[in-house]
Amino acid sequence: MSDVSMFSLEGKTMIVTGASKGIGKAISIESARAGADLVIGSRTMADLELVATEIRDMGRQCHCITVDVASVSSINEFVDQAIAATGGIDILVNNAGYNKITPILDVSEEEYDYIIDVNLKSVFFGCKAIVKHMIERGQGGRIINISSQVGVVGGPLRSAYTAAKGGVCTLTKSMAAEWADHGITVNAVAPTMTRTPMVEKAMENEAFRANIKKILLGRVAEPKEIAGAIIYLASEAGTMVTGHTLLVDGGYTVV
């Protein structure tokens, strides 16, 4: 596609959760470069403001709102504040996530519940909150949920995380089917291991680090490379795509 304008987000307002660092930060900044105005959320306002400064320096609007995605009431309040601040949301990116490298036999019920809450339950209720607004507004919308390569093929030491991310993939299909009549597309992006603070911490585990060998391109992804997939699905270039999980995995799932 030679028409770069197909990938423009000009005139669109996007919510990104988990936006203070890593993939969420890259999505926010690159989407602003593509023309979007932003509402960014995470638990720490100081970190959000650092990202917002970069976005505002591009001449884009950026609202910072704290949110704990493990809490449904916090999610609902976050969405309400985002709508009030902007007047309307066109795109939701459910990016916030959490993982802990742990053998199944060592996973406690509390750890399991927290991982499911942050990675799967938050997606369900975040989408529910924003879609009510999108339907009432009557202008359609885009939802993009961040899954993972291990949500497609599984992986050791990440059992609860793989369960949650696998759930994101199938939840995305169900939502796409349910909301298509309203002009709302719902897709997922499934990254490989990406150079983020969470993955760098996980790399301290030798068994986890060995998984890099499965990436055919021979390296971890950069956050900006994941942001490119988000922009595609959020832009006019992705109009006819819904219910799909786009793997950005360097070939990890090929063999």
Neighbouring C-beta atoms of residue 58, cutoff 10 Å: 11
Q: Is 3 exposed, middle or buried (0-12, 13-18, 19+ CB in 10 A)?
A: exposed
Which residues, other chains included, contact 112 with Cβ-Cβ below 8 Å and sequence gap of 6+? 160
User: What's the gap between Cα 111 and its chain centre?
Assistant: 21
**Selection from 100, 75, 85, 71 nearest residue 14 by Cα:** 85
- Is 161 marked active-site? yes
HSE-up of residue 148 (Cα within 13 Å, Cβ side)? 25
> Could you please report the per-residue DSSP string of 102-135?
B-GGG--HHHHHHHHIIIIIHHHHHHHHHHHHHH
Q: Are 90 and 141 in contact (CB under 8 A)?
A: yes
d(CA 148, CA 156): 14
Which candidate in 98, 112, 114, 161 is catalytic? 161
Q: Which residue has the tokens 């976050």?
A: 78
Q: Residue 42's beta-bridge partner residues?
A: 66
d(CA 148, CA 118): 14
Q: Residue 14's beta-bridge partner residues?
A: 38, 91
Catalytic center residues: 161
